[in-house]
Amino acid sequence: MSIASGPTGGPVLIVGSVAYDSVRTPFGEVTEVLGGAASYASVSASFFSPVRMVGVVGEDFTYEHVATLAHRDIDLAGLQRSSGKTFRWSGYYEYDLNQAHTIATELNVFQDFRPDLPANYRDTPYVFLANIEPGLQLSVLDQMRRPKLVVCDTMNFWIESAREKLLEVLARCDIALMNDAEAREITGEPNLITAARRVLDLGPGIAIIKKGEHGALMMSRESCFTAPSYPLEEIRDPTGAGDTFAGGLIGYLARCGETDDETLRRAVIAGSVMASFTVEDFSLDRLLRLSPEEVAERYHEIVAMTRFGAF
Amino acid sequence: MSIASGPTGGPVLIVGSVAYDSVRTPFGEVTEVLGGAASYASVSASFFSPVRMVGVVGEDFTYEHVATLAHRDIDLAGLQRSSGKTFRWSGYYEYDLNQAHTIATELNVFQDFRPDLPANYRDTPYVFLANIEPGLQLSVLDQMRRPKLVVCDTMNFWIESAREKLLEVLARCDIALMNDAEAREITGEPNLITAARRVLDLGPGIAIIKKGEHGALMMSRESCFTAPSYPLEEIRDPTGAGDTFAGGLIGYLARCGETDDETLRRAVIAGSVMASFTVEDFSLDRLLRLSPEEVAERYHEIVAMTRFGAF
């Protein structure tokens, strides 16, 4: 299929943080640049499908950034503007780039964020609940009318502090997305394959375990799929890679209008492709200058890198 | 192709250690069991091709173990028997199973090992130089007459203590096999993709980087191949996984009689399949009760786990 043709499955609703990030890596440093899970996921998904964004920003959120998102076919009717400052995160990465070290988190307007969906959002068929407090994820689901597919992300903080509500979210979603450490933590199972299977016992039909540079593992009750990450020689900033993956995944699924195993596999690769671009530069810079042709080309490169013949 | 039909490419010569290992993992403990790089690699390769083994054992090496190897179509004319004790290694693994912790290494007869190839070994077309002192690897190459393919392995100890000789080995081999940490160490390059390319600058046409549970990366000047490892839920002892991989790789190549990119990719998967069996039990126990049908079946499972459609 071509991403140039029109959508078949309908738009994607994305709920999560919109932030101003300050990030230092061995390859550079940026201050108060556009970030947040919803920003990365929405721009990534917008390559495949129309996006409806739900989040909150402060009075300091610039028109330039509003325009940046709006230009990508992202509906901002669900982006609340509150009095106060936009959520801020600052952190740094060492040479291995695998671990974000947080310097400061200022919740600001995000502290009192209560997702309130515009009426026309409630019928959105594809929903991505990015990493926010599980109670808020549930309140979004309560406002939706029979979505076709719900993907949820989370983080170690909620596994430890809001486990019961998180289990409710998992029981109500179709695809649980988490990284390897989170899958081990939520199931108490050190073996990653077993952990992925145990996540399925919590409700979702599909578990997708993100392994960073080592790719992703998708587990369902019938099938197991291992996807590599695109081998990059230059990674400038890993911030947003997981959210970009999620956006590409759900955007591609919405674009295809199917959620069978074959389509899911291609969606995982599409998500990996999008994430591989995000980490090539700071903030959303690489995604914002990315062409659909580059996306298709890198997908083909992954095909070439992974194919092998029969025994 | 079927591994039941006859070989097309000729036998494989394998040089390396034969050991008695004592190993403790969270899943059990064994004392003075058959081990060593040459043992794992030879038994693994023997699933695909006849093997000629070069190594040394002490007077304590049992007839039972000689018979174990001989029963697998492994020619033992190059296995020297010296006065003294067989090489011994003891170590343990923690729960993560990624890192071997050495308790003791007793070189014994391996200390004075000088590979002396039987006359009929010198024309062997496929050669695997397992991890031994690079000077000994070179002496084996000096005794060979125009082998068709040379694969070499090494370890951090030689990178640090015998770098110049190791570089000579790399310049004379076709496929350099090493793990991710060794690739980074030998090239001084933290990015694994760049490190793999730099290994090619040292001479070999192909670099294969073993990443343990994260699979393997094969890099040539024209192509890059990423292979997953088989997702195992029960790993009892990772000892010998890398050597088993190498044996499966070169055995499969010898079996096919081709070394083009297509064949190499299948050989990497064959090596991964063999390694995935080794780690299911201690010592060579799983390999020794493994059937060719199980090898083919697991290969097909990896095909099923990795395939995905076009964009």
Q: Is the pLDDT of residue A255 over 60?
A: yes
Task: Give me the pLDDT at residue A244, please.
Answer: 98
Tell me if A311 and B305 make a contact (CB, 8 A cut-off).
no
- The reply to whether A269 touches chain B by the CB within 8 Å rule is yes
Domain-located, residue B1: no
Residues 237-266 of B with CB under 8 A from A: 262, 265-266
| DSSP assignment of A290-306 | --HHHHHHHHHHHHHHH
What CATH number did the domain enclosing A109 receive? 3.40.1190.20
Task: Give me the pLDDT at residue B2, please.
Answer: 41
Nearest residue of A to residue B235, measured between CA atoms: A191
Task: Give me the pLDDT at residue B1, please.
Answer: 39
Domain-located, residue A265: yes
Pairing of strands A51-57, A28-35: unpaired
Q: Report the residue of A213, A226, A262, A291 to disrupt the B interface, i.e. the one with the largest count of B CBs within 10 Å.
A: A226
Task: Give me the pLDDT at residue B253, please.
Answer: 98
Task: Give me the pLDDT at residue A1, please.
Answer: 39
H-run or E-run covering A43: helix A37-45
B256-279 average pLDDT score:
97
Domain-located, residue B5: no
For residue B226, the number of C-alpha atoms closer than 13 Å in the C-beta half-sphere is: 23
Task: Give me the pLDDT at residue A73, please.
Answer: 87
Chain A nearest CA to B61, separation (Å): 36
Number of domains in chain B: 1
Task: Give me the pLDDT at residue A142, please.
Answer: 97
Domain-located, residue A1: no
Query: What is the rounded distance in angstroms from the CA atom of residue B279 to the CA atom of residue B292?
Result: 17
Q: Is the pLDDT of residue B6 over 70?
A: no
Tell me if A296 and B309 make a contact (CB, 8 A cut-off).
no
Domain-located, residue A3: no
Domain-located, residue A311: no
Question: Cβ contacts (< 8 Å) between B306 and chain A: which residues?
Answer: 225-226, 306, 308
Question: What's the pLDDT tens digit per position in B269-287?
Answer: 999 999 999 999 999 999 9
Nearest residue of A to residue B2, measured between CA atoms: A311
Question: Cβ contacts (< 8 Å) between B310 and chain A: which residues?
Answer: 266, 300, 303
A44-59 average pLDDT score:
97
Task: Give me the pLDDT at residue A2, please.
Answer: 40
Q: ipTM, 2 decimals?
A: 0.91
- The reply to whether A232 touches chain B by the CB within 8 Å rule is yes
Domain-located, residue A300: yes
> Greater confidence, A95 or A108?
A108
Sequence-distant (6+) residues with CB within 8 A of A157 are none
pTM tops 0.90, yes or no:
yes
3-state SS of chain B?
Answer: CCCCCCCCCCCEEEECCCEEEEEEECCEEEEEEEECHHHHHHHHHCCCCCEEEEEEECCCCCHHHHHHHHCCCEEEEEEEECCCCCEEEEEEECCCCCCEEEEEEECHHHHHCCCCCCHHHCCCCEEEECCCCHHHHHHHHHHCCCCCEEEECCCHHHHHHCHHHHHHHHHHCCEEEEEHHHHHHHHCCCCHHHHHHHHHHCCCCEEEEECHHHCEEEEECCCEEEECCCCCCCCCCCCCHHHHHHHHHHHHHHHHCCCCHHHHHHHHHHHHHHHHHHCCCCCCHHHHCCCHHHHHHHHHHHHHHHCCCCC
Tell me if B308 and A225 make a contact (CB, 8 A cut-off).
yes
Task: Give me the pLDDT at residue A7, please.
Answer: 53
Q: Is the pLDDT of residue A97 over 90?
A: no
Query: What is the rounded distance in angstroms from the CA atom of residue A148 to the CA atom of residue A163?
Result: 25
Question: What's the pLDDT tens digit per position in A285-310?
Answer: 999 999 999 999 999 999 999 999 99
Question: Cβ contacts (< 8 Å) between A272 and chain B: which residues?
Answer: none
Tell me if B233 and A310 make a contact (CB, 8 A cut-off).
no
CB pairs under 8 A between A and B: 105
For residue B75, the number of C-alpha atoms closer than 13 Å in the C-beta half-sphere is: 17
The shortest CB-CB distance from B224 to any of A225, A227, A305 is to A305
Q: Is the pLDDT of residue A265 over 70?
A: yes
Query: What is the rounded distance in angstroms from the CA atom of residue B278 to the CA atom of residue B50?
Result: 19
Domain-located, residue B108: yes
- The reply to whether B292 touches chain A by the CB within 8 Å rule is no
Query: What is the rounded distance in angstroms from the CA atom of residue A106 to the CA atom of residue A87?
Result: 6
- The reply to whether A188 touches chain B by the CB within 8 Å rule is no
Tell me if B226 and A305 make a contact (CB, 8 A cut-off).
yes
The shortest CB-CB distance from A266 to any of B233, B266, B309 is to B309
Task: Give me the pLDDT at residue A6, please.
Answer: 52
Query: What is the rounded distance in angstroms from the CA atom of residue B77 to the CA atom of residue B93?
Result: 34
Percent of chain B at pLDDT > 70 equals: 97
Task: Give me the pLDDT at residue B7, please.
Answer: 53
Question: What's the pLDDT tens digit per position in A52-86?
Answer: 999 999 999 999 999 999 999 899 999 999 999 99
Pairing of strands B51-57, A28-35: unpaired
A85-90 average pLDDT score:
97
Grade residue B4 by pLDDT with cuts at 50, 70 and 90: very low
Average pLDDT taken over every residue of chain B:
95
Question: Cβ contacts (< 8 Å) between A234 and chain B: which residues?
Answer: 191
B11-39 average pLDDT score:
97
For A303, phi then psi, to 5°, come to -55, -50
Q: Is the pLDDT of residue A187 over 80?
A: yes
Q: Is the pLDDT of residue B193 over 50?
A: yes
Task: Give me the pLDDT at residue B239, please.
Answer: 96
The shortest CB-CB distance from B266 to any of A211, A296, A308 is to A308
B102-119 average pLDDT score:
95
Which residue segment(s) compose the domain that B100 sits in?
12-306
